[in-house]
Amino acid sequence: MPTFVKGGGVSTPFGRNEYLRSTNPKPRFESYTVAAASIPVQTIDGTSQKILQPGTVMAKITSGADAGKVGPYSTDTVGVTDGRSDSDNIVGLNDTFLPWQLLEEDCEIAVAYDSTMAVQAWCFEYTAAGAAVPQPLSNATADAMRGNKKLNVNFS
């Protein structure tokens, strides 16, 4: 018989980030494998988590054990040496919400490479290697994405 136990404590809420103002016209996506090692660990209510939010700028990993996969773009050119800090390696904006799966393994994600309805203030980038929390997308990164011949991402 089902039961309900009231309480259980207070927890820090988190959920799926929305980064598109509208899905009309429909964005175009490409499939990639995200390297679990590229996602920093966050501590939420005393529990270690790896959370990949939609709207995170993703870049190709060009060296090391995870070469050929993608990870979050980082503006940290000293701490990130696997190619993710090179704006030429940006592949687009993550569309897949992974709230814990990256603790266990690499995962497949959808990356928007063609979108006219992305909102810059709702997108993320990492500013330091190992930084647990991504930062709002900077103008410099947004400009780099607009200047990338492989992308057609316009921010509103």
Q: What is the mean pLDDT of residues 135-148?
A: 94
SS3 88: helix
Please tell me the distance from the alpha carbon of residue 19 to that of residue 117, in angstroms, as a whole number. 8
pTM of the predicted model over 0.75 = yes
pLDDT one-digit tens code per residue, 74-88: 999 889 999 999 999
List beta partners, residue 20.
118
- Residues 116, 25 contacting (CB under 8 angstroms): yes
Pick the closest to residue 92 from 20, 15, 14 (CA basis). 20
Please tell me the distance from the alpha carbon of residue 105 to that of residue 32, in angstroms, as a whole number. 14
Please tell me the distance from the alpha carbon of residue 72 to that of residue 114, in angstroms, as a whole number. 18
Q: What is the mean pLDDT of residues 45-62?
A: 94
Instruction: Judge whether residue 7 has pLDDT over 70.
Output: no
Instruction: Judge whether residue 5 has pLDDT over 70.
Output: no
Confidence tier at 126 by pLDDT (50, 70, 90): very high
Pick the closest to residue 58 from 98, 117, 4, 103 (CA basis). 98
